[in-house]
A and B are shown apart, each in its own frame.
Chain A
Amino acid sequence: DAMVIQNPRYQVTQFGKPVTLSCSQTLNHNVMYWYQQKSSQAPKLLFHYYDKDFNNEADTPDNFQSRRPNTSFCFLDIRSPGLGDAAMYLCATSRDAGQNSYNEQFFGPGTRLTVL
C-alpha cells in the first residue's frame, strides 16, 4: 500500500545533541510537510517542500532544518534539541494538482521525540 513512513517511531536524544528524523513516501507526491505536535495541542506546521523548493514558516526556529534529497525522502534535523522540543513530529505529503485545487494531506504515524 502507498503510504508515508516515519522512522524511528520513538527517538530519545540528549539536550543539545543533534538528532535527525526521517520520512519517506511511496505516494510520489511532490509536496512534503513537517509538523510539530506537542502534548494536547494541535499540529503546527514547521515547513514544507514543494518539489525541491523549501518553504519555512515565519515562526519556525532556526534550530529546525530540513533536507529533501529526492522525491521520496525528507529529513528533519534538530541541531540543538532543547527540553521544549520534545513533541510528536509528523510528516505529511500532498499532490499538488495545480492552481485552484486543494488536495488532502496524507500523514505518517509520527516520531515521538524525547529530550533528556
Chain B
Amino acid sequence: LAKTTQPISMDSYEGQEVNITCSHNNIATNDYITWYQQFPSQGPRFIIQGYKTKVTNEVASLFIPADRKSSTLSLPRVSLSDTAVYYCLVGDVFTGGGNKLTFGTGTQLKVEL
C-alpha cells in the first residue's frame, strides 16, 4: 500500500482557507485518495474522495495533479469547529470485497479566533 506523508500540525484562523497537502509517491493505479476528519473521542468521518483532477463537495475540495503523487485538501473559510485531525488515505479494494484503509499520522488542524 502506498504510504502517505502529511504535516503533523497546522494552525489557522477563522475565515481563512486551509490547504493540507499529502504526499503519496508510490500510489498505485487502482488506488483512490480519501480524506477523513476525526474529532476527539469520535470515529473518523469521511470528507471527500477522488481519483484524479479536482473533486468538490459541500465541505471541501480535493486537488489531485496528473501524476497523482500528491493531493491537497482545501477547506474554505474554516471555523473553530473544523479543529480536528485530518487523515489522508490511499487505498484500494480488498480482493473479495471491502476497502483497505491504512491511516497515516494525520494532520492536527487548530483553528483560532
Q: Which residues of A contact B (CB under 8 A)?
A: 4, 30-31, 33, 42-45, 48, 50-51, 53, 55, 88, 90-92, 94, 96, 99-110, 112
A30 contact set on B, CB distance < 8 A: 97
| Interface size class of chain B, counting residues whose CB lies under 8 Å from the partner chain | 20 to 34
Q: Which residues of B contact A (CB under 8 A)?
A: 30, 32, 34, 41-46, 49, 87, 91-94, 96-106
**A42-B104, A102-B91 known; A107 and B98 CB under 8 Å?**
no
In the complex the two chains form, is A31's CB within 8 Å of B43's CB? no
B34 contact set on A, CB distance < 8 A: 102, 104
Q: Which residue of B lies closest to A44 (CB)?
A: B103
In the complex the two chains form, is A31's CB within 8 Å of B41's CB? no
A90 contact set on B, CB distance < 8 A: 43-44
Min CB gap B81→A, angstroms: 17
Min CB gap A58→B, angstroms: 12
B46 contact set on A, CB distance < 8 A: 104-106
In the complex the two chains form, is A53's CB within 8 Å of B96's CB? yes
A92 contact set on B, CB distance < 8 A: 43
A94 to B99, CA, bound (A): 8
A3 to B91, CA, bound (A): 23
In the complex the two chains form, is B103's CB within 8 Å of A43's CB? yes
A43 contact set on B, CB distance < 8 A: 44, 103
Partner of A42, one of B87, B97, B99, B100: B87
A-B CB proximity, top 6 nearest = A107-B43, A42-B103, A104-B46, A50-B97, A31-B98, A96-B97
In the complex the two chains form, is B42's CB within 8 Å of A110's CB? yes
